[in-house]
Amino acid sequence: MESIILHADLNSFYASVECLYNPAIRNLPVAVCGSVENRHGIVLAKNQPAKMVGIKTGEAIWQAKLKAANLLVVPPHYDRYLRFGNLARKIYGTYSQRVEPFGMDEAWIDISFPGRSISDGYEIANQIRERIKFELGITVSIGVSFNKIFAKLGSDMKKPDAVTVISRENYKEKVWPLDVGELLYVGRATKRKLRNWNINTIGDLAQADALFIRNKLGKCGTILKDYALGNDYSQVENTEHETIIKSIGNSTTPPKDLCSLEDIRITSFVLSESVARRLREHGLKGKTVQIYMRDCDLEGFERQGQLKDYTNISTEIAHKAISLVEANWFFNKPIRSFGVRVSDLTSSKGPIQISIFKEENKRFKVMDLEYSIDTIRKRYGPYAIQRAALMQTRQFGDLSDNTEALMREVSFNTGEAR
């Protein structure tokens, strides 16, 4: 049975929702932007009139206003976006139980069924497109294909309010001429490497020598080449089953760049406190600590390392994060954003392996202390009790629970996210 996968992408999502709540601004150039005071003053989303004058996601507000003097800047309202994202997924759920979210505004939908063809997928995609427009008042672009990667490419090809079919018969014609950076998980660094080897399009990658790609990019390169060839067999997750939490993390873009190891150390403790609390809240411990760093030129990288024991103790997580920074950051550029994540999770209620070579009683006391701190903060607020070393963290912005991100399993675990 041939798979029929849809990828739905709500058009200019944040801006579309804001225009829905305020129809008077619909025909004006509108940009949803972060807080200038917290140095998040960039364009998060823009509507179609703003796109037509060249405003781009990620540019600073002052840059956007140079392109449109009448640009209307509105703050984000994430509660609204969550609501509309959930409403859209309910519509998708009437067509299939296999709906896998990819952020708030995107989702894959598996509508495979014996006897169903790609043309049936096109008809169903159009039904969804019309329902989103009629029931929610916003628009969606949908890609229809035989795998998730090409369905995602299809939803990006024609916007707004459109359906694009990428079949086994036409994918070489439609997909291979595209810039290689359009392929999911080919980030800026990988794209730059591929261009250095004269691999400029997805077709170039598909036809490149497999051994060469593997030697240059490792296993990740082999997977990307398979994607370019249409060999993606990952499944759309079934929402009948609760998604298993695979990792918990938190990241921040502070008001000022992190320029020294002391800056990183303080921020690591702030983020680790948050991550450890969430682990305890979900009854989990983790053994792998990952860091994410992005410098002032927006070049980013991730590194990870294993702990000796499973933990949800903030000090142990922070110390591991700091050691990863020391081993991998060479202080050549200031850090714009920084994140800490814990993965390789297990239940905190399971048996504990006791070691005669460590002060286990001291570790148990630290665990009890952190649970007590959780209780105090829950009652009196996140700043009711803090480490002395963290008293100066206000210069790095508010890293309380409203900035936390709970990261769940994703079928793709290769390359760089775009």
Q: What is the total residue count of the chain? A: 418
Work out the number of other CB atoms within 10 angstroms of the CB of residue 179. 12
Please give the Cα distance from 205 to 300 (Å, whole number).
23
CB 152 within 8 A of CB 7: yes
CB 139 within 8 A of CB 11: yes
281 as an active site residue: the answer is no
Extract the tokens encoding 2.
């041939």
Question: Can you list the positions of beta strands (E) in 120-246?
Answer: 140-145, 163-166
Check residue 344 and report its DSSP letter: E
Q: State the residue for tokens 């509660």.
A: 79
Extract the tokens encoding 75.
């703050």
3-state secondary structure of 314: helix
Nearest to 205 by CA among 177, 180, 172: 180
Please give the Cα distance from 112 to 101 (Å, whole number).
17
User: Residues 18, 106, 237, 316: which is the catalytic one?
Assistant: 106
Q: Which residues pair with 288 in a beta bridge?
A: 306, 343
C-alpha dihedral over 5, 415, 259, 64, to 10 degrees?
A: -40
Phi, psi angles (nearest 5°) of residue 43: -75, 120
Please give the Cα distance from 207 to 192 (Å, whole number).
18
* Biggest CA-to-CA distance, the chain: 70
Q: What angle do CA 398, 400, 403 make, to 5 degrees?
A: 85
Where is 148: in which H helix or E strand? helix 148-157
Check residue 411 and report its DSSP letter: S
Positions annotated as catalytic residues are: 106
